[in-house]
Structure 1
Amino acid sequence: MDEPFIDEWLPSHHFGQHAPAVTRVAEVLRSSAAQRDREGGTAWHEREVLRDSGLLSLAVPREFNGLDAGWKSILQIVRRLAVEDSSLAHLFGFQHLQVASVRLFGSVDQQAHYLGNTVGRRWFWGNAVNARDTRLAIARTQTGFELNGVKSFCSGARGADMLMVSVTLGDKPTDRRFLAIPTMRQGITVHDDWDNVGQRQTDSGTITFERVAVDHSEVLGPPGVASSPRATLRNLIGQLILTEIYLGNALGALRDAIDYVKLKARPWSMAAVEHARDDGLLQLRIGGMWPQLKSALLLADDALSAFEHAWRLGLDLSAQARGKVALQIAAARLHAGRTALDITSGIFELMGASATTRRDGFDRYWRNVRVHTLHDPLDYRQKAIGQWLLTDALPDQYT
């Protein structure tokens, strides 16, 4: 796949030895992305392409036979896949978020079991972790625990081998725990009810739990999720995944718009030019998009480097250092989100009315970004940055 525009902005050497697999997956996703976005539902074939690629084990350490890739590389692959298919990039990113949960909270035996099988049995992970949805109750039993209730925004749960589930075992923030359980366990029903305007193949619907038995060994840890600054890095991985999805959509939208203007767009009569690409107003408009996106990419890459360093510090990571990394990520996500919204809507000013067909599906880029930027409002990230600038207060460990 000859992609000079993308290769310039996201060169394949960023992916190291995994570049051929990334390229193959990106080609498959691009070939049907617009059609699948129109259809919605579950991308069964594309999920299997991801599984067969071996890339699902990137975040698994070498001691468990994983690929042991760095977080910067993993998250830039999320960006690359989001250029072609934001939904599958989302599932790919969340796969590694669940793997990170096992690494951060699992005991030695739990890590050996869950990470080893993620590689050996090629597990795909889904999630039921939405902390804002408190409808899932957990009760102690003689043999462990029982789950009853509902979780929403369960991305990737349909067809997943394993589920990461969040519960609260007490009244303190440190009592929040993660459960790792098979998706096909009796009492679990994964509903096909995701019908939002964007991210249409993330399978982010609801799960019903009815008397679902959970063994003590399936509760990760202790410790809980806020037990150390390192443990709270899970939240930051989620923020970075969103950032990379924004950027991938912006890159894909701008690439498609450039190609369209060069090859298909008809010049406006008042432009007095033979080709749309020679229209000075279009040149002016797209010339403003380029530095905006370039600065967002550089800011995101800086945040990825800062996060990689924080991860490698392990338990030596201080609360203050964690807070500063969180600010870098907040700035990157804020700028990426606002930039992506501007570019994914602004491309139509370049391409014209003929580019608004459902067949082309160029609107999917904006719809994807619009949905994701509402999950965790950007205004709160901007406020956190302003609060730090004026009061020196760092973000707390739960954000």
Structure 2
Amino acid sequence: MNQVETINIAETVQAEEAPLYVAQALAREFARTAVARDQQGGTPKVERDRIRASGLLSLIIPVESGGWGANWSETLGVVREFARVDSSIAQVFAFQHLMLATVRLFGTENQWRQWWQQTAEHNWFWGNALNPLDTRTSSQVISGQREFHGKKSFCSGATDSDMLIASALDAETGKLLIAALPTAREGIILHQDWDNIGQRQTDSGSADFQHVLVHQHELLTDPGPLSTPFACLRPLIAQLIFSSIYLGIAEGALAEAKQYTLGQSRVWPGSLAGNIQADPYTLLHYGEFWVALEGARLLTERAAALLDAAWSRAEALTAEERGEVAVAVTAAKIATTRAGLDITQRMFEVTGARATTAALRLDRFWRNLRVYTLHDPVDFKLRELGDWALNGAYPDPSFYS
């Protein structure tokens, strides 16, 4: 699909429906190869190029800067649409918008407006090389020039990207420095060493930064990371992205389980039911799945609506308003984690032994979710929520809350 074809597709529906319409068409394509690509691993180059051509890389960018002008609820809805069929694609796509949010929240208006416009104009894909827990990359000023040097891990979406958000610790102050850099900058070496049991096509491998030149105008220091209530929305956007992907994975798993149950599953000989659709235990499980997913969905959509309101407040956002979003996002994160892990594990109880054939790879839903939910421990989310429920204390802003 080229850009002209994408524009024609978007013009055939109402403007507010176009992004989801395009995403659904892409998701149907991705679903056809999802099983094979899960086995293959590596970079989903074809799928990334399809997203490039769709124009969806500019989904969150305002219309005046050349984008679709979507809000976070709409953007996360597209993420969830992809996650139902391919959560690796969903993560790479979602991180595009997390990186765009990073330059908006941490940089000056001149910086983010320029990068947003260039992203919309050139269909730039952004990748991640920001890991606040990674202390192996340092930053020094050598002969008047700042450099990033060291190793990075979990660089999701970095392969085949045009721009990177990268971090390093200032060797003098110990402060975290964040910069927006061209992926092709000399000294940036991306390794194809991501081979985990799940999220196998997120390109989340390691990278080496070998004396990478960083210009002053590429540093995001004004207002800088987590410096204001508005800047502190960045981790909440990340957490809500996780929740949306978890929810999408669970919805996709339930949809495949339902299709298999209705088409392939057999009623157990000891059941009094005449067919699988009437088997009481099968119905019990599906009822439990539905309740868990519905609660997780409502919490996630409520958190997205609160994020939209906070985003629109921009620099006027208060710490208390940010705290309300944090509580809602934390609740959604916990609910989607629990519901998703339960459904992706127990789906085999309503599909049966034949559904475990490797050809179907139905276990990919659990593997993807299990890998992704380990990004940061849900126990700490429960502690934060408990502190709010008991003591009225909002979660302290960090890169994980």
Q: Return the TM-score normalized by structure 1.
A: 0.93
Change (3 A) 1:146 1:172: closer
Q: How far has the Cα of 1:166 moved from its partner?
A: 1.7
> 1:138-217 counterparts in 2 under 5 A?
138-169=139-170, 175-217=175-217
Give the secondary structure class of the aligned counterpart of 1:223.
coil
1:92 corresponds to which residue? 93
Tell me by how many angstroms 1:252 deviates: 0.4
Residue 259 of structure 1 is matched in structure 2 by: 259
Equivalent runs, 1:325-340 vs 2, <5 Å:
325-340=325-340
Aligned to 1:67: 68
Distance 1:16 1:172, change over 3 A: farther
* 1:214-238 alpha-carbon deviations (Å, 9 max, x no partner): 1111112322112200001010010
Query: Offset of 1:367 from its aligned partner?
Result: 0.8
State the secondary structure of the residue aligned to 1:271.
Answer: coil
Query: What's the offset of the Cα at 1:18?
Result: 1.6
Look up the match of 1:358: 358
Does the aligned pair in 2 maintain the 1:15–1:77 contact within 8 Å?
A: no
Q: Spell out the pairing of 1:122-141 with structure 2 (5 A cutoff).
A: 122-141=123-142
Match status 1:28 vs 2:29: yes
Alignment-derived partner of residue 304 in structure 1: 304
* Kept in 1: contact 2:140–2:172 (CA 8 A): no
The answer to whether the 8 Å contact 2:247/2:340 transfers is: yes
Q: CA deviation at 1:143?
A: 4.3
Aligned to 1:8: none
Letter in 1 for 2:142: T
Within-5 A mapping of 1:229-244: 229-244=229-244
Residue matched to 1:82: 83
Secondary structure class of the residue paired with 2:84? helix
What are the Cα deviations for residues 190-233 of structure 1, in whole angstroms up to 9, with x where unaligned? 00000111100001010101111111111123221122000010
Structure 1 distance, partners of 2:396, 2:171, is: 20
- Looking at structure 2, the residues matched to 149 and 364 of structure 1 have their Cα atoms a distance apart, in angstroms, of 33
Contact in 2 for aligned 1:35/1:359 (Cα 8 Å):
no
Output one character per residue of 1:46-98: Cα deviation in whole Å (capped at 9) or x when no partner: 01111111000011122321111101110111111100100000001000000
Report SS of the residue matched to 1:225.
coil
Report the 3-state secondary structure (helix = DSSP H, G, I; strand = E; otherwise coil) of the residue aligned with 1:180: strand
CA contact under 8 A between 2:137 and 2:169: conserved in structure 1?
no
CA distance in structure 1 between the aligned counterparts of 2:322 and 2:108, rounded to whole angstroms = 23
Q: Which amino acid aligns with 2:86?
A: D
| Deviation (angstroms), 1:279 | 1.7
SS of aligned partner of 1:269: coil
Provide the residue aligned with 1:249 in structure 2: 249
Amino acid at match of 1:133: D
2: CA distance between counterparts of 1:164 and 1:205? 15
How far off its partner does 1:25 sit? 1.1
Whether the aligned pair in 2 keeps the contact of 1:14 and 1:73 (CA below 8 Å) is: no
Separation of aligned partners in 2, 1:277 and 1:172: 65
Q: How many percent identity over aligned positions?
A: 42
Q: Indicate conservation of the 8 Å contact 2:140/2:148, yes or no.
A: yes
Change (3 A) 1:152 1:245: same
3-state DSSP class of the match of 1:351? Answer: coil
Partner of 2:9: none
**Once the 2 structures are TM-superposed, how far is the Cα of residue 170 of structure 1 from its aligned partner?**
7.2
**Which residue of the partner structure matches residue 322 of structure 1?**
322
CA contact 1:310–1:322 (8 Å) conserved in 2: yes
C-alpha displacement at 1:184, in angstroms? 1.4
Question: Partner letter of residue 261 of structure 1?
Answer: T
Deviation at 1:105, TM superposition (A): 2.0
TM-superposed deviation, 1:177: 3.1
Q: CA deviation at 1:124?
A: 0.4
Aligned length: 387
Determine if contact 2:138/2:171 at 8 Å carries over to the other structure.
no
After TM superposition, give the deviation of residue 141 of structure 1 in Å: 2.8
Within 1, Cα distance between the matches of 2:111 and 2:336?
A: 36
Alpha-carbon shift at residue 110 of structure 1 (Å): 1.6
Aligned counterparts of 1:285 and 1:352: Cα–Cα separation in 2:
13
Q: Secondary structure at the match of 1:208?
A: strand
Question: Separation in 1 of the partners of 2:176 and 2:392?
Answer: 28
Gap runs ≥5 in structure 1: 1-11
TM-score (norm 2): 0.93
Residue 375 of structure 1: SS of its match in structure 2?
coil
Aligned to 2:104: 103
Q: Comparing 327-336 with 265-274, which one deviates more in the overlay? A: 265-274
* In structure 2, distance between residues paired with 1:157 and 1:49: 17
Structure 2 unaligned runs (5+)?
1-12
